[in-house]
Structure 1
Amino acid sequence: MKKILKYFLISLVTISLQNCTDDFASINTNPNGITEESLTQMNNNVGNEFQPMFLNVFNITPAWNYQLQQGLMGDVFSGYMTAPTPFAGNVNNQTYALVDGWNGFPWSDAYENVMPQALNVKNAVELGGDPNGVKFVYIANIIKVTAMHRVSDIYGPIRYTKFNDFATTGEYDPQDVAYQAFFDDLGAAIDGLEPFIGETQFTPFDMSAFAGDIAKWRQFANSLRLRLAIRIVKINPALAKAQGELALASNAGLLETEDMVINTGFPHPITVISGSWGDIRMAAEMESILTGFNDGRIETYFNPSADASLAGDYKGIRMGIDITAKGQYLDHASIGSVIDGETLTWMTASEVLFLKAEAALRGWNGAGNVQTNYEAGVTASFAQHGVSGVTAYLADNTSTPADFVDALSPVNNIAYASDVKIAYNAAGTNEEQLEQIITQKWIAMFPDGQEAWSEFRRTGYPRIFPVVVNNSGGTINTNIQVRRINFVENEKNTNGANVTTAVSYLGGSDNGGTRLWWDTGGSNF
């Protein structure tokens, strides 16, 4: 019912936008005739396009859509969570039998509820005749990049730069072209929004905690630019450094003290998936790292196991094991209070500080000191979750991730492949320091498994356990692990020639074993 209501509302927005275009055309022929009432109408119709965008970067409702867009993809591939449910007889994403019927949702959510809406904003502003309306275009483009870099980081090539032209809308960009377009759109928004600082016209339509504050939207866009610069550092270090240093030097600033949080009006979908359905639980890697580090955030991230035999321990499940019935691991640790409320986080201050730490490690101008940023990132994460004891935590130079012991079957036991520690080792090699940075960044970004999976693929950190059961038929190497998701079936059926061209951009087959453009598999330095 909620899904029907959502699409009904979106349809009303589209109809209202179409109905107002006659007014826009009339106004556009006589710029001196723009009335305050007409501008208000234009702003409302443009503004109404933002709700579906806000609610589909991460799909908020229904919960099963989020489960397929995010939960049974990035959330499980990242080592954050594991489903105790043996979907399709345990032949599913978790055992590398990638399910086409599941894996199209990141694509459809973006191409039904983000890309068309951003285009509608652009077209309506152009028709409206008010030059101040461009601020709506800039904000729409920031949200569009937020959504579409995630889509690209799942599939690789995407439809982006040619989407707005009907004649070319089906054509794909190679991932390097898409990333350059992301940087261009973000740079234009950061610069273009500066004259609008202090204006409040976007406030009624802003579902974020920024409440229409243009200065904060510039900060977010600039922080996103830094994220994407770090993402491509191994494949194009010159472009990465140039974009990263632009972000570090920009007068927009960075989100170092405030998180980017969306007020959705719906319970977090994981509350349904974990609490009502029992379809997601703590992953083995989370157990190993958080318990090994004696990390107080575990009490916010997870609930103690309900299984009485586990004596209140936080027990995780290793992904890709032989599960025959949901009840086997159902009473392992469920997701905790981190998902309470009706908000969803797009980016945290702690992530930005860890981005700065890596930028400093790589010698980028303006990044500051590596250790200072690292410790500030951990501190910000503890503060975000209301956890005490960060000073003692940062001083801990002995704790390491624990080996994983399966509560039911020793065949699933596995040693953690590193003795990475918490206290920052400034004398360590670049690789050792990067592992510390990314491990703590991984902890801090929970529960955004999509971003965590991307960082694992880029760096190899933290050490995600390989699956025990690999049903990929040889397309995904057990040790290299899943690198991407196949292009969606609907695209192959309706846009086949362009999909064939997109496959040629991959440098490999259209399967889960092919690395993305920025995923080089080589050294981090």
Structure 2
Amino acid sequence: MKKIIRYTFASIIALSLSNCTSDFEDVNTNPNGLSQESLTQMNNHIGGSFTPMFLNVFNVTPAWNYQLQQGLMGDVFSGYMTPPTPFAGNVNNMTYSLVDGWNGFPWGDAYNSVMPYARDINNAVAETGDASGEKFVHLSNIIKVTAMHRVSDIYGPIRYTKYNDFATTGEYDSQKVAYEAFFSDLTASISGLKQFEGETQFAAFDMSNLNGDIALWRKFANSLRLRLALRVVNIDPALAKTQGELALKSDAGLLESSMIINTGFAHPITVISGSWGDIRMGAEMESILTGYNDDRIEKYFNPSADATLSGDYKGIRMGIEIDAKGQYLDHSSIGSVIDGETLTWMTAAEVHFLKAEAALRNWTGAGTTTQNYEAGVTASFTQHGIGNVAAYLADNTSTPADFVDALNATNNIAYPSDVKIKYNASGSNEEQLEQIITQKWIAMFPDGQEAWSEFRRTGYPRIFPVVVNNSAGKIDTDIQIRRINFVESEVNTNAANVTIAKGFLNGPDTGGTRLWWDTGSNF
């Protein structure tokens, strides 16, 4: 909480600087106060703008905002979690009747609390004319890309490259243009920050476990570049390979430990799962973790509170008939993985799995698939304090379990794959990719947004189709939900540009239209 007080103080200073009054000169010549020159030297005129950016890549508080930004979208569409609550009479996102009032929150959080502050940092640095301030622009751009690729992966086209110019701020980029800009911004930041390695000015504003270390921020940016390179591999293999190999050979290196944000607030899922009882284990998580006898289940979830389930871990299938919250309320809630006041932006395990897929695609510098795969699983076990990883990696028989609904056999479904744990380097490309992405999916929990994106890109792991589809034909039950339609606030206030943005899509502005990078094919 001390860090939050410090960040809040910096924000108050920044706010006071933007609200000058008639006694500005008197205030700033007060020998007992802070002069404008002193504030500038401490970079507080810049640093305060980082706080809202850090706290809105994932919105931290209030918990209901996180629930609408991520909890009732990526977290459920990924198979990670399912609400026991039949919101709006069970006609909601989980049954593909997309709720516009919910689905604008990822957009609102980005355009209220990320993009404007990145612009403010850019403008503040430009006004000072101090070349050393460029490091803050690079750092804010890294955070901006972290946030905005997630927004683009929800909606598709976004407002990005023309945002800072008032005359063009409402104009959209196609997702292709946005991704090219992400790569450009990351490349510039990775290169531009090199000269600032060893400087400590950012430490006062850094809410991450990187503690202002510029060299580590370069690693994070480079790891993010590798993530995004693989995101576009099916639509633009040449661009993906170029960017991926740049990341693999960069002198910045890649993350060796997880990127964690110290928010100063309880993880919002502790409220959503614990206090409200509005989220529980997803059916796919039950199938995969129990089928694999995976000990991470004890960290991710709590045993069912329903006495009839004998302490088993039980999930809920998304998109089923739920009459009342009490039906499935005592299924497995979210476990100790969400304890504390932190949020993870990228795990060390994910980086190893990115390298494993890069190796599968024969990218230079990636190493071998088997070594990277096993390193990813090992990193995840280490992250959660789980032992006996060697025995787990040697398991060549366990497969995901079929899902059995404890209350309604109509929802039972066989898991449609016998994907195993022990890596099979002689398997087909698809078989190897399924192993990599399935373990990556397990390791990234609880970041459902990234897991949903990877499912849409690769088709892995296998996510069960909904039983109840209330989309009126807009979303195919088997193809499943692919995106969220453009938000009402934009349609109502920026209609002309939204109309142009709709033309960038591969189909109608519905949840059934695939994004630019979502081709439905891997090789």
Q: TM-score, normalised by structure 2?
A: 0.95
Q: 1:337 Cα shift?
A: 0.2
Q: 1:521 Cα shift?
A: 1.3
For the Cα contact (< 8 Å) 1:17–1:46, is it kept in 2? no
**Correspondence for 2:445:** 446
**Correspondence for 2:40:** 39
For the Cα contact (< 8 Å) 2:14–2:44, is it kept in 1? no
Q: 1:21 Cα shift?
A: 12
Q: Using the alignment, how far apart are the partners of 1:441 and 1:162 within structure 2?
A: 34
Q: Using the alignment, how far apart are the partners of 1:480 and 1:21 within structure 2?
A: 58
Q: Using the alignment, how far apart are the partners of 1:312 and 1:20 within structure 2?
A: 61
- SS of 2:477's equivalent in the other structure is coil
| Partner AA of 1:383 in structure 2 | T
Q: Using the alignment, how far apart are the partners of 1:21 and 1:15 within structure 2?
A: 12
Matches within 5 A, 1:125-144: 125-144=125-144
For the Cα contact (< 8 Å) 1:10–1:52, is it kept in 2? no
Deviations 1:412-456 (A, max 9, x none): 000000000000001100100000000000000000000000000
- SS of 2:201's equivalent in the other structure is coil
**Correspondence for 1:455:** 454
Q: Does 1:146 align with 2:136?
A: no
Matches within 5 A, 1:235-384: 235-255=235-255, 257-384=256-383
Deviations 1:180-200 (A, max 9, x none): 000000000000000000000
**Correspondence for 1:176:** 176
For the Cα contact (< 8 Å) 1:186–1:221, is it kept in 2? yes
Q: 1:324 Cα shift?
A: 0.7
Q: Using the alignment, how far apart are the partners of 2:36 and 2:245 within structure 1?
A: 43
In the TM superposition, structure 1's runs of 4+ consecutive aligned residues that sit over 4 Å from their partners are 8-14, 19-23
Q: 1:130 Cα shift?
A: 1.3
Q: Does 1:482 align with 2:481?
A: yes
The root-mean-square deviation of aligned C-alpha atoms, in Å, is: 1.7
**Correspondence for 1:105:** 105
- SS of 2:343's equivalent in the other structure is strand
| Partner AA of 1:182 in structure 2 | F
For the Cα contact (< 8 Å) 2:249–2:365, is it kept in 1? yes
Q: Which blocks of at least 5 consecutive residues in structure 2 are unaligned?
A: 25-34
**Correspondence for 1:206:** 206
- SS of 1:471's equivalent in the other structure is coil
Are the structure 2 counterparts of residues 10 and 205 from structure 1 closer, same or farther at C-alpha, using a change threshold of 3 Å?
closer
Q: 1:128 Cα shift?
A: 1.2
Q: Does 1:84 align with 2:81?
A: no
Q: 1:45 Cα shift?
A: 1.5
- SS of 1:202's equivalent in the other structure is helix
| Partner AA of 1:46 in structure 2 | I
Q: 1:39 Cα shift?
A: 3.3
For the Cα contact (< 8 Å) 1:282–1:334, is it kept in 2? yes
| Partner AA of 2:179 in structure 1 | Y
**Correspondence for 2:412:** 413
Are the structure 2 counterparts of residues 417 and 126 from structure 1 closer, same or farther at C-alpha, using a change threshold of 3 Å?
same
For the Cα contact (< 8 Å) 2:78–2:451, is it kept in 1? yes
Q: Using the alignment, how far apart are the partners of 2:306 and 2:332 within structure 1?
A: 9
**Correspondence for 2:186:** 186
Deviations 1:24-81 (A, max 9, x none): xxxxxxxxxx99725325x112000000000000000000000000000000000000
- SS of 2:241's equivalent in the other structure is helix
Q: Does 1:426 align with 2:425?
A: yes
| Partner AA of 2:114 in structure 1 | V
Are the structure 2 counterparts of residues 188 and 21 from structure 1 closer, same or farther at C-alpha, using a change threshold of 3 Å?
farther
Q: Using the alignment, how far apart are the partners of 1:346 and 1:279 within structure 2?
A: 23
Q: 1:517 Cα shift?
A: 0.1
- SS of 2:318's equivalent in the other structure is coil
- SS of 2:18's equivalent in the other structure is helix
Deviations 1:223-276 (A, max 9, x none): 000000000000000000000000000000001x21000000000000000000
Deviations 1:279-307 (A, max 9, x none): 00000000000000000000000000000
| Partner AA of 2:38 in structure 1 | E
Q: Using the alignment, how far apart are the partners of 2:116 and 2:487 within structure 1?
A: 18
Q: Using the alignment, how far apart are the partners of 2:102 and 2:62 within structure 1?
A: 14
Q: Using the alignment, how far apart are the partners of 1:102 and 1:135 within structure 2?
A: 36
Deviations 1:331-382 (A, max 9, x none): 0000000000000000011000000000000000000000000000000000
**Correspondence for 2:29:** none
For the Cα contact (< 8 Å) 1:159–1:170, is it kept in 2? yes
| Partner AA of 1:509 in structure 2 | P
Q: 1:123 Cα shift?
A: 0.2
Deviations 1:167-208 (A, max 9, x none): 000000000000000000000000000000000000000000
Instruction: Give the % identical residues.
Output: 76
Q: Using the alignment, how far apart are the partners of 2:251 and 2:495 within structure 1?
A: 44
